Amino acid sequence: MRVKNATAAWRAFGVVCAVVLYAISLSGPMYDLTTPVTLPHHVVLRKIYALLAFALLGFVLERSKLRRVHGVLAAAIVIAGYSWAIEIGQTFISHSTETLASHVFDVASGFVGGALGAFGARRRISGS
C-alpha cells in the first residue's frame, strides 16, 4: 500500500509541477523577475533554469511509474513534447518572437533535461 501511495503522490506532484512551470513559462513578468534583462547573460540563465525545470519533470515522471512512460528515453521524449507545448504556448499566447532555431534549442533542452532527470531517478531507485 505504501508504494501505491508514493506513486500517487509523485503523479500528483508531477501534474502540479507541470502546470505551474507551464504558467511561469508563459509569464513575461515572471521571466523579468527571475532574470531581468539588465543581468549579464540573462538568456543563458533562462536556459539553465529551463534545463533544471525539465530535469525536475523527468525525475518526477520516472518516479511516478507510469506504465507507458518507463525509462530514460521515454521520459526524454515526453518532456521534449512538453517543451514543444511550451513553445507553442509562447508563440500563440505570449506572442514570442523567438527564432525557429531558438525553439528547436528549447525543445532539445527539454529532451536533455528530461533524460537527465529520469536518469537521476533511475540511479536513485537502483541505489536505494
Instruction: Say if residues 25 and 90 touch (Cβ distance below 8 Å).
Output: yes
pLDDT of residue 68: 86
Measure Cα distances from 93 to 16, 54, 120 in Å. 21, 21, 33
pLDDT averaged over every residue in the chain:
89
Per-residue confidence (pLDDT) for residue 21, from 0 to 100: 94
Amino acid at 80: A
Q: How far is CA 51 from CA 8, 12, 36, 115, 126, in A?
A: 25, 21, 18, 10, 24
pLDDT tens-digit series, residues 61-94: 999 988 888 899 999 999 999 999 999 998 888 7
**H or E segment and range at residue 51:** helix 42-63
Domain ranges of the chain: 2-127
pLDDT tens digits along 8-38: 999 999 999 999 999 998 887 887 787 777 8
**Which residue is associated with the grid cell 537502483?**
126
Lowest average pLDDT, out of 40-44, 60-64, 86-90, 112-116, goes to 40-44
Q: What band does 43 get if pLDDT is binned at 50, 70 and 90?
A: confident
b/e map 94-124, b = 16+ CB within 10 Å: eebeeeeeebeebbebbbbbbbbbbbbbbee
